[in-house]
Amino acid sequence: MALRQALGRGLHLGRALVLRFTAKPGAAYAWGRPGPAAGWGRGELPGRAAVLGAQARGLGLRLPDRYRFFRQSVAGLAARLQRQFVARARGGRCFLAFGLGLGLIEEKQAESRRAASACRDIQAIFTQKSKPVPDPLDTRRWQGFQLEDYLIGQSLGKGCSAAVYEATVAALPQHLEKTEGTRPLPGSGPDVISQGEEEQTPGTPAFPLAIKMMWNISAGSSSEAIFRKMSQELVPASRVALAGEYGAVAYRKSRGGPKQLAPHPNIIRVFRAFTSSVPLLPGALTDYPDVLPPHLHPEGLGHGRTLFLVMKNYPCTLRQYLRVSTPSPRLATVMLLQLLEGVAHLVQQGIAHRDLKSDNILVELDAGGCPWLVISDFGCCLADESVGLQLPFPSWYVDRGGNGSLMAPEVSTAHPGPRAVIDYSKADAWAVGTIAYEIFGLANPFYGQGGAHLESRSYREAQLPALPESVPPDVRQLVRSLLQREASKRPSARVAANVLHLSLWGEDILGLKHLKLDEMIGWLLQQSAAALLADRLTEKSFVETKLKMLFLANLECEALCQAALLLCAWRAAL
């Protein structure tokens, strides 16, 4: 039906154009004036004039004036008719083809408009459905803006700039008081193969909170200086996190504060941020004596006051989880998809993490033991309103981010200059491609030493190790695409996430030989109905249902079409 309509529109437009340009001929040739003898030659006059002309030439006679007039008039009329015939024949076909092409283009554009409109409608519905449930900690009903409000337990770990401790408060919100004290251990889910008991990661402790104490060596002791120096850590802070002691005043955008990240289920939230005097916490004298203030350790270099961040306590990091668990290929694909969703949200907000690694990714297990991944530790992020993801690089003193081993090639090979700029729009997606090796059970090729070790500055795509054969072909191809040296050849995080969404749940639509937008929209409507039904049937949505809702909440027609074309091209090449 669509083709018939396009043909009808094209024929109608073509006919209109032909009539427009050929219905009004040039000036008429009057019988009283001789016309040009074009088209037919003088010896090729039709009818009686040609006979008379031949006889006259044969006898050497000169025709009377009235016969010459008749001959010239007929020749002019013939030339005129011939020109109009050629114009109608050639021009008609040209305009008819042109009109038909316009009709087909118009129909294609109408299909694209329908698809874009449907995507916007679906996105509007699921944007509301996918909003994170407000955490009871993210409220003003309890204070928690002083270190004395917390009971601090054992150390959860330390990095290059902070130490993290488990914590709780004397009067938790009612919701947290009912929280169960245990969760499934890593390795207990249906899609996970346990690797033994010698290094089991503990489940959720009795402390539901985690406090991150920053090490303050150069920020001074005033709250204003501390907030300004450590402002990157506050990018994922909630709206009320800074409503305490000082932050609400010091963190106004007019004072040059960085961007505030909108909440996302795959990104950590900071519930409270405040400054306080540095205490002597368990393990401090052993784990980080050099950064303590002199009154706690004589050789310490730290200041007496620093920044504290309060977050949710997660059972383990991704690195810890993978040490004791081997997820199935499908579950590993779902985990990779979660990282891409988180990175796509960061890019959409104009933020680059710049320090993605398995130690900075936290894992929470649902009731069935399925892992939910959360990106944390924003201390090295780029979140500057004035530059976005395009960082000016005038000198080597500009900070390019952390973890040089997982630094994207366009960042690690950048050279400073007066107009040099580093584009971070696809740098985090490249880092996710390296972490994919760990998720699928292999060593990260950009870590370690030896012949298998690769460097982002100099590696070639052919040197990348192959993923296991058990990994789906679409995922193997996507990981190689994410690790392309040239950022222009690399898919964005949003397109890469859409590739995995289609690969996981769009087999029916991808099986068609000729994929059309209207068929894609029909599939999206089916997925929308299924996601809404699954969300209603379960008290707490399963991981795959949550991911489907995130996919539909971030639906963009152009990015979805790019993902579908990539998948079709990869499958055709197999």
* DSSP annotation string for 500-531: HHHHHH-HHHHTSSS--HHHHHHHHHHHHHHH
pLDDT digits (tens, 9 = 90+) for 368-423: 788 999 999 999 999 998 899 999 999 999 999 888 889 999 999 999 999 999 99
* Closest residue by Cα to residue 232 from 267, 258, 271: 258
Q: What is the structure's pLDDT at 154?
A: 93
pLDDT winner (highest mean) among 217-221, 495-499, 563-567: 495-499
| Residue keyed to tokens 């488990």 | 166
Residues 518 and 114: beta-carbon distance below 8 Å:
yes
pLDDT digits (tens, 9 = 90+) for 491-550: 999 999 999 999 998 877 776 666 777 788 888 888 888 888 887 776 555 888 889 989
Q: Look at the chain and count its residues.
A: 574
pLDDT digits (tens, 9 = 90+) for 24-58: 444 443 333 444 444 444 444 444 444 444 444 44
Q: What is the structure's pLDDT at 182?
A: 36
Q: What is the dihedral of CA 339, 341, 344, 349, to 10 degrees?
A: -110
Q: What is the structure's pLDDT at 10?
A: 55
The one-letter amino acid code at 403 reads N
Q: What is the structure's pLDDT at 297?
A: 93
Which tokens is 321 given? 């989880």
Q: How far is CA 39 from CA 68, 82, 156, 255, in A?
A: 18, 7, 96, 82
CA atoms within 13 A on the CB side of 40: 21
Quickly state the pLDDT bin for 133 (edges 50, 70, 90): low
Q: What is the structure's pLDDT at 243?
A: 77
Quickly state the pLDDT bin for 245 (edges 50, 70, 90): low
Coil/strand/helix, residue 393? coil
Over residues 207-229, mean pLDDT: 91
* 147-316 to CATH, choices 3.30.200.20, 3.40.50.720, 3.40.50.10800, 3.40.190.10: 3.30.200.20
Coil/strand/helix, residue 151? strand
Q: For the chain, give every domain's residue range.
A: 2-114, 147-316
Instruction: Indicate if the pLDDT at residue 148 is higher than 70.
Output: yes
Instruction: Indicate if the pLDDT at residue 211 is higher than 80.
Output: yes
* Closest residue by Cα to residue 267 from 352, 360, 376: 376
User: What pTM was estimated for this model as a whole?
Assistant: 0.76
Active-site choice (121, 135, 287, 355) = 355
Burial of residue 289, with CB atoms counted within 10 A of its CB: 0-12 exposed, 13-18 middle, 19 or more buried: middle
Residue 243: DSSP 8-state: S
Q: How far apart are CA 500 and CA 538, in angstroms?
A: 24
Q: Is the dihedral of CA 243, 244, 250, 256 positive or negative?
A: negative
- Has 518 been annotated as catalytic? no
Q: How far apart are CA 36 and CA 29, in angstroms?
A: 9
Coil/strand/helix, residue 226? helix
Strand partners, 308: 213, 274
pLDDT digits (tens, 9 = 90+) for 177-201: 444 333 434 443 434 443 433 343 4
CA atoms within 13 A on the CB side of 280: 9
Coil/strand/helix, residue 383? coil
Quickly state the pLDDT bin for 123 (edges 50, 70, 90): confident
Which tokens is 411 given? 């960042």
